[in-house]
Chain A
Amino acid sequence: MVPGMCGRRINFLRPMNYFIFNTGGDWDSTTLYNNGQEFLANQLYIKLETSRDYDGRPMRGGLRNGGDASAYAVSQDDSVGQYAIFPGKIDLEVPTHKVTIENTSPMFAIEFTRVWLDSVEVTEQVTDIEVNVDAVNNQVSGYITVYKPHFLGADEVATYNLLGN
């Protein structure tokens, strides 16, 4: 057997991640599940940024323009360390919104990422997502930004606060 093949096969057969992050607005009501089992984590971190125009401003097109993303959960189990969320799917359920991010490509290619905001797909409008739930440092922040083109009137870059102020 070629070294590494076994591990790769096991990884390939591993069920796709399906994280569900839910919070009511405080630590006591905050939970993180993966495939139906609670995932004890010190941190949940998601950052997605789509490409900008030449002046560095957001532009229409969303993830069609490409971009960069990183998403992981830091387990309380030191042996696990950073656990990649993708390939897979995560639901971010906060009191005011629900955001779903999905990328099922094995290599986590950014162009296969799809995003829903409140059950409406915003894959081609999203410009930024950042979620940081850091229990160790007691820091919570999160937002999603979408680009809304308007036929008449100025285009809109709308930021929806998910967590924190």
Chain B
Amino acid sequence: MRSKFLSVLAVLVLAFAVLGTADAQRRGSFGGGGRSFGGGGGHSFFGSSSSGGSFGSSSSRSFGGGSSSFGGGGSSFSRSSSSSFGRTGAFGNSGRINSTSINGGGSYYRSSSPIYYGGGYNHVYFGGGYGDYWYHPSWYYWLPFHPAFYYNQPYMYDGYYHPGGFSVFRFFLGIFVIVFVVWLLIKIFGGGSGRGVRYTSYR
């Protein structure tokens, strides 16, 4: 009985993890993939792509201007100073970093164009979490087997929609539903000794 219960629970947890990971990859929530947070082209976790622009720039330079890796000017090795690299001071210049969001940092990214939500086209903020999923809800977000289930609906604040936060109520509701589903599956398919037999006596 207990082993069957644990087996079914393990399958559900595994399905939960796979579903969440697959969606996260598709949507770029972990830094790669999509263009949700200013980065482009990355396709793996944490933006390891060479063209990734993990910090928001869409160009290929990493630290500062010019095409050279460590400083300005077209020549990398022109010895105009005592420095081996022809420059003085600290590395790089004050190249602007455009990004307003680092994955998971808690910042918000405003949509560049209105999206259809809340009965019309509105500007919204993306938070980078599963709360963003509700801007384009799918039926399975209502199932406790999807992580988005545990986040509230977006809410209107200061003229913009913001993603809802984690819902404790839905968390406990999800636990209840999962336990109920496991119990139901055991009752329906757990034949043999798993079902149990109750012996009663009547006069």
Contacts and interface: CB of A to CB of B under 8 A. Distances in A.
Contacts of B201: 158-161
Contacts of B187: 151-153
Q: Determine the interface band of chain B, counting residues with CB < 8 A from chain A.
A: 10 to 19
A156 B202 contact: no
B79 interface: no
A2 interface: no
Nearest to B188: A151
Interface of B: 184, 187-188, 193, 195-203
A57 B197 contact: yes
Contacts of A16: none
A96 B203 contact: yes
Interface in A113-165: 151-161
A58 interface: yes
Interface of A: 55, 57-58, 96, 151-161
Contacts, number: 39
Nearest to B193: A55
Contact of A157 (B184, B188, B199): B199
Given A156-B197, A161-B202, 9 more contacts: A55-B193, A151-B187, A154-B198, A155-B195, A156-B199, A157-B198, A157-B199, A159-B199, A160-B202
19 contacts: A55-B193, A96-B203, A153-B198, A154-B197, A154-B198, A155-B196, A155-B198, A156-B197, A156-B198, A156-B199, A157-B197, A157-B198, A157-B199, A158-B200, A159-B199, A159-B200, A159-B202, A161-B202, A161-B203
Contact of A154 (B184, B188, B196, B202): B196
B197 A58 contact: yes
Contacts of B203: 96, 160-161
Nearest to B201: A159
Contacts of A154: 195-198
Contacts of A157: 197-200
A98 to B, nearest CB: 14
